[in-house]
């Protein structure tokens, strides 16, 4: 959530940066500023009347102590309406603040000045490419055919148990999943992240605090009876560990990693690009989250990007890094890098990770603050990155490492899988 003071004091900049995200309802900015002016006017009026009431109460007390009962009664009569006036203004203030809140949460985060202008994924900027795609022979198959050929993931059995997008991993497929999860967690811990195990159901306050609500209701599974949401990413519960918290400046950077299953409805998804493991309703992911000092957040973003690239390099996967354009960014992000792995069998790039800096957008909702060197309260910056999401990593490993005799497991995973080949 954008800070109200910043919107009021930087109207033109806010409108200019929102345009980079292709935000069309710019009139909303002026509505927010006008509501804020009304709010402050009412607050000032209420404070002034409250001050007069306090002064009158003191005067009445002084007069009574002096035995001037009639004069005290006269002042009391004159000030009798103060309490009712303050009550009316307080009610009016609450109404305006509620409307103001509804309006301000409709504004997305402002994109960083380095975010390229664009309307879709076609306008994203390629920052770098690493590695070469393997040359596969005529035997090469897309991963959804490899799954059934080697009997490692059963998509149809998942449909029977739950529905499309809920695969059943079997045998070496299940062990490969477990190997990747453990590898990613071990790497994160080695990099200084503190591992946590968190709930996969969250309440509405948690979903709001990280920006899933009110923007992404249609993408989340809602458990109506208890008003819980199945998490779309571990970012939600992990970041919410610090909701309504004042942290110490010397605690920065606060680094956590977590493995969770993730759930996304992906309403309206269809076509060849979602076949097999390309897009699922339930999938496994290891997430990294950081809370940092505002002066360090973009330095940390680059560090997180390099860390995730290091994982892809160890898995021997060709990849590229994209800086997302304004039109392809999330509602909450100020700057996002996407990591995409090249699928040799599908002959296309598959997104496997996003790492984002949210600046104060989440922390303003979370109310996660610290006291700076000047003794003033300041909002922390929050960042998160997928390190990594498993389905497309598995798809790319299977496709890129297939041979006529089986599928080779990347060397770094062999100590975790206990086998070198799927055959």
Please check if 264 is assigned to a binding site: yes
* Residue 46 is labelled as binding a ligand: no
Nearest to 219 by CA among 174, 262, 185, 267: 267
DSSP strand pairing (228-230 vs 222-223): antiparallel
* Torsion angle of the four alpha carbons 181, 183, 188, 191, in this order, in degrees rounded to the nearest 10: 180
What gap in Å lies between CA 121 and CA 43, rounded to an integer?
45
Tell me whether residue 77 is annotated as binding.
Answer: no
- CA R_g for the chain: 27
Query: Looking at the DSSP assignment, which residues form a beta bridge with residue 230?
Result: 201
Q: Is 141:363 a contact under the CB 8 Å cutoff?
A: no
The residue with tokens 């033109």 is: 12
Q: Phi/psi of residue 357, each to 5°? A: -105, 125
**38 is known to lie in a ligand binding site:** no
Tokens standing for residue 181? 């999860």
Q: Can the peptide bond before residue 159 be classed as cis, meaning omega within 30 degrees of 0?
A: no
352 is in an annotated binding site: yes
Measured N-to-C along each axis, helices 297-314 and 171-190 cross at an angle, to the nearest 10 degrees, of 140
Nearest-angstrom CA–CA distance, 283 and 230: 12
Strand-pair partners of 246: 369
How many Å separate Cα 228 from the centre of its chain?
Answer: 18
Taking residue 278's Cβ as centre, other Cβ atoms within 10 Å add up to 21
Six token digits for residue 177: 């999943």
Residue with tokens 């959530």: 1
The reply, when asked if residue 332 is annotated as ligand binding, is: no
Residue 246 — φ and ψ, nearest 5°?
-105, 115
Asked if residue 399 belongs to a known ligand binding site, the reply is no
* 287 annotated ligand-binding residue: yes
> How distant, in Å, are the alpha carbons of 107, 162, 207, 256, 366 from that of 111?
12, 39, 21, 25, 20
- The response to whether 305 counts as a known ligand-binding position is no
Please answer whether residues 256 and 241 qualify as being in contact, where contact means their C-beta atoms are separated by less than 8 angstroms: yes
Asked if residue 289 belongs to a known ligand binding site, the reply is: no
Binding-site entries for ATP? 264-266, 351-354
Binding-site entries? 233, 264-266, 287, 351-354, 384
Binding-site entries for L-serine? 233, 264, 287, 384
């Amino acid at each position: 959530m954008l800070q109200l003071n910043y919107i009021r004091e930087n109207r033109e900049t806010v409108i200019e940066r929102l345009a980079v995200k292709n935000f069309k309802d710019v009139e909303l900015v002026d509505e927010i500023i006008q509501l804020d002016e009304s709010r402050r006017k009412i607050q000032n009026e209420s404070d002034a009347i409250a001050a007069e009431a306090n002064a009158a109460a003191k005067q009445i007390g002084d007069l009574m102590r002096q035995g001037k009962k009639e004069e005290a009664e006269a002042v009391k009569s004159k000030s009798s309406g103060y309490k009712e006036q303050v009550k009316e203004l307080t009610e009016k203030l609450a109404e305006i603040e509620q409307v103001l809140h509804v309006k301000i949460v409709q504004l997305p985060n402002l994109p960083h000045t380095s975010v390229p202008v664009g309307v879709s994924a076609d306008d994203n900027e390629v920052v770098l490419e690493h590695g070469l795609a393997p040359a596969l022979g005529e035997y090469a198959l897309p991963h959804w055919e490899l799954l059934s050929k080697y009997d490692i993931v059963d998509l149809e059995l998942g449909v029977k148990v739950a529905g499309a997008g809920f695969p059943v991993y079997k045998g070496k497929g299940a062990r490969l999943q477990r190997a990747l999860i453990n590898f990613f967690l071990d790497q994160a811990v080695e990099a200084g992240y503190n591992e946590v195990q968190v709930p996969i159901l969250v309440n509405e306050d948690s979903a709001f605090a990280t920006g899933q609500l009110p923007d992404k209701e249609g993408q989340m599974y809602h458990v109506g009876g208890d008003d819980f949401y199945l998490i779309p990413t571990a970012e939600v519960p992990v970041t919410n560990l610090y909701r309504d918290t004042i942290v110490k400046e010397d605690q920065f950077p606060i680094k956590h990693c977590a493995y969770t299953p993730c759930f996304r409805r992906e309403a309206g998804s269809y076509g060849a690009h979602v076949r097999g493991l390309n897009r699922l309703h339930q999938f496994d992911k290891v997430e990294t989250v950081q809370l940092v000092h505002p002066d360090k957040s973009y330095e940390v973003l680059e560090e997180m990007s390099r860390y995730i690239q290091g994982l892809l390099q160890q898995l021997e996967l060709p990849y590229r890094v994209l800086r997302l354009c304004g039109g392809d960014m999330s509602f909450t992000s100020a700057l996002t890098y996407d990591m995409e792995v090249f699928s040799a069998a599908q002959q296309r790039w598959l997104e496997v990770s996003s790492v984002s800096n949210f600046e104060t957008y989440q922390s303003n909702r979370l109310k996660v603050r610290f006291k700076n060197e000047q003794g003033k309260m300041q909002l922390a910056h929050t960042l998160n990155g997928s390190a990594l999401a498993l389905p497309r990593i598995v798809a790319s490993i299977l496709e890129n490492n297939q041979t006529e005799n089986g599928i080779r497991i990347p060397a770094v995973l062999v100590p975790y899988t206990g086998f070198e080949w799927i055959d």
